[in-house]
Every structure is written in structure tokens, then in C-alpha cells.
Structure 1
Amino acid sequence: MKKALSGLRAWTVQRFTAIYMLLAFLFAFVHFAWNAPHGFEAWRAWIGGPFVRIATLLFFVALLLHTWVGLRDVMMDYIKPLALRVALLALLGFYLVGMAAWVMRILLLL
């Protein structure tokens, strides 16, 4: 029962993050189709607004969660030696945490 719930949880995270990222891409596409920033300062003003900054942060959280769940499941399915799997999952986790810190730094310095 617990393994089935874990699979359902991973499936749900994958779907919700994919839907959020799709909606964010559609929003950005529509926005840039009608009101594209014409220069660095216009781009910085747009991305620095509170709504867009929070939406961008949520986009990257969704992207990192989506990446973690997908790659974790692939590694769990196809990498059989436990020590290698744990080492690769730890490396992936450190990499994704580093990417999250980098995104936070960029968004906070705007």
C-alpha cells in the first residue's frame, strides 16, 4: 500500500509541476507576443515586479521538483547497485539544491 501511495505522489507531483510550467510558458508567450520588453531596463522592470518574480520562483521550484521526481524514478528503475544509486541520487540532490540557490540569488538581486 505504501509503495502505491509513493508512486501516486510522484505521479501527482509530475503532473502538477508540468501543468504549472505549461501555464507559465503560455503566460510568457502571450505577454511577449503583445508587450515584449524593448531593452534590458524594460526586461528588468518586468521580471522585477512582485507577481512575475513570485511566478518565476514558483516556476523554478516546479522545474526542480519535476526534475528530481523524474530522474529519481529513472535511477531507481535502472541503476541496480544500491551504492551507485545512492551516490548518484546524492549528487543529483546536491546539484538541484545548488541550482535552487543560484536561482534564488538571481531573483533576489534583481
Structure 2
Amino acid sequence: MIERFRGRSAFARLSADGIRADHELLWVRFLPDPSLGAAQVAYALPRQMGTAVMRNKIRRQLRDIVKSLDREATAGLPAGLYLIGTQRDAQAFSHADLRVSLMACLAKLDRTAL
């Protein structure tokens, strides 16, 4: 199950103690926290990406990808805080490209967290 997170304290913890993985289109900052019980995800899309309509489209695509990756994983995504952002103008790329980039970031985080 995927939940949203908000609040300055959660972002401060993530910024101070989280680990970051980058790929061509996306970056992911992750802070493992088994006490949460589920993955909590937020998205960071800068205004330079375009209008609110464009940013919301990408946010919806990323939400869909995260939900499908959570369903595909046997135990779901590891519990913790995730902040997903774009490296550059991701609106020019397809859903499949975003999925590949997110999977690569999560694989890097998996190797780093061990």
C-alpha cells in the first residue's frame, strides 16, 4: 500500500538522513523506516517543467508506475519515505521511459541500502 507524506519534519528527516539515487530522467531520495508500515511517497516537479497541467500529468504517470511496482514486488516497496523528482524535462518522455528510470533508481537504492 502506498501512502502520501507531508509535513516539514518528514522532509527534513529525508533531507538529512535519506540516500539518493539518480538515473537519466528521475532521482529518488529514500529513507528506510520500518515503523511506518508502508511506503510513503511524495513528488517534486519543478515549475520549469511547464504548466500545472503538464506537471500533474507526469505526477499521475509516476503515481501509476509506483503503484504497479508496489503490486509487482512480492512484499511491496520497502517501508519508508520516498521523494521522487525529475532530472530534466521529463514531459518529453513516455510512460515506459519513466518506468525504466524509476526502476533503475529503486535498484540502485536497493543495492545502497544493503
| Bucket of the pairwise TM-score, normalised by the shorter protein | 0.3 to 0.5
Q: Which has the higher contact order (CA 8 A, sep 6+)?
A: 2
TM-score (norm 1): 0.37
**If each structure's strand is expressed as a fraction of its own residues, which one has the higher value?**
2
TM-score (norm 2): 0.36
Tell me which structure has the larger Cα radius of gyration.
1
